[in-house]
Amino acid sequence: MKKIKKILIILIILILIAIIGALVYYNYQGQKPRKEVKIVKYINGYGYELKENETKLYKDTFEKLDKELSNKTINESNYAKLVAQLFIIDFYTLNNKLSKNDIGGLEFIKESMKDNFIEEARSGFYKYVELDSEKRNQELPEVSVINDVNVENTSFTYTDKTVDENAYKVTISWDYKKDLGYEKEAKMIIVKDNKKLYVVEMD
């Protein structure tokens, strides 16, 4: 009987510890950012959304994309250039992100590649982004200018060996409002799926 009582007491203690731990975790994770972010503009037919908390640079570039995509004949090279810029501005600007789960640039990533991209971002560049609450006191980067964008025609081979002959290779460089030591240049591959362009590779 004594052994059974001891086991029951231990089980009760473990259950209480688990409950307390779960409550602490829930309360921490359940904190809400200090503001809700609204969508202020939407490009019909493409699904691109403009959030109110985006930087001026992003908003100005988004307007250029909207204008390009409203043309009867779209300049594909310019479209790829604008997608590359918007992706870089959104992904590498962290000071407007709500948490490490608020990954920038997702709407420019091909759907089949989003899960891997999100996981890599969470465990990499976004790893230390704290919840945007009253307590956040981090110095986070903001892309301030795109210095140069070069677009070339190329081909891209998917993992299933499918070859896309109409891809774009983009070389891009940028700067931040304050240099905190983050990268400032990248090369990426952009492909077309139906009428929409997506980033499928970056280094």
Q: Is residue 48 part of a domain?
A: yes
Question: Is 28 among the domain residues?
Answer: no
In whole angstroms, how far apart are CA 67 and each of 47, 61, 75?
15, 10, 11
Residue 44 lies in a domain: yes
Read off the tokens for 30. Answer: 């359940």
Q: Quickly tell me which residue has 């109110």 as its tokens.
A: 52
20 domain-assigned: no
Residue in 106, 114, 102 with CA at minimum distance from that of residue 140: 102
- Write the CB contacts of 143 (distance below 8 Å, at least 6 apart in sequence): 55, 57, 88, 89, 92, 93, 174, 175, 176
| pLDDT 10s digits, 116-134 | 999 999 999 999 999 988 7
Tell me the β-bridge partners of 153.
Answer: 168
Residue 150 lies in a domain: yes
Residue 28: predicted pLDDT = 46
CB proximity list for 117: less than 8 A, separation 6 or greater: 103, 106, 109
Full-model pTM? 0.82
- Nearest CA among 89, 51, 42 for reference residue 70: 42
More confident residue, 76 or 21: 76
Give the span between the Cα atoms of 50 and 54, in whole angstroms.
Answer: 7
The amino acid at residue 123 is: S
Per-residue model confidence as pLDDT tens digits over 30-64: 445 556 789 999 999 999 999 999 999 999 999 99
pLDDT tops 80 at residue 18:
no
Are the C-beta atoms of residues 118 and 106 closer than 8 Å to each other?
Answer: yes
More confident residue, 2 or 151: 151
The pLDDT value given to residue 20? 67
> Total domain count for the chain?
1
Instruction: Share the mean pLDDT of the chain.
Output: 89
**Least confidently predicted of 17-31, 56-70, 105-119:** 17-31
Q: Picking from 5-9, 68-72, 93-97, 148-152, which range would have the lowest pLDDT averaged per residue?
A: 5-9
pLDDT band at residue 27 using 50, 70 and 90 as cut-offs: very low
3 part of a folded domain? no
Q: Mind giving me the DSSP string for 105-150?
A: TGGGB-GGGHHHHHHHHHHTTTTTPPP-STT-------EEEEEEEE
Which of 170, 175, 172 is closest to 188 using CA atoms? 170
Q: What is the pLDDT of residue 5?
A: 65
Strand-strand pairing, 39-43 and 196-202: unpaired
Q: For residue 148, tell me if it sits in a domain.
A: yes
Domain that holds residue 128: 39-202
Task: Write out pLDDT tens, residues 154-168.
Answer: 999 998 889 999 999
CB 182 within 8 Å of CB 141: yes
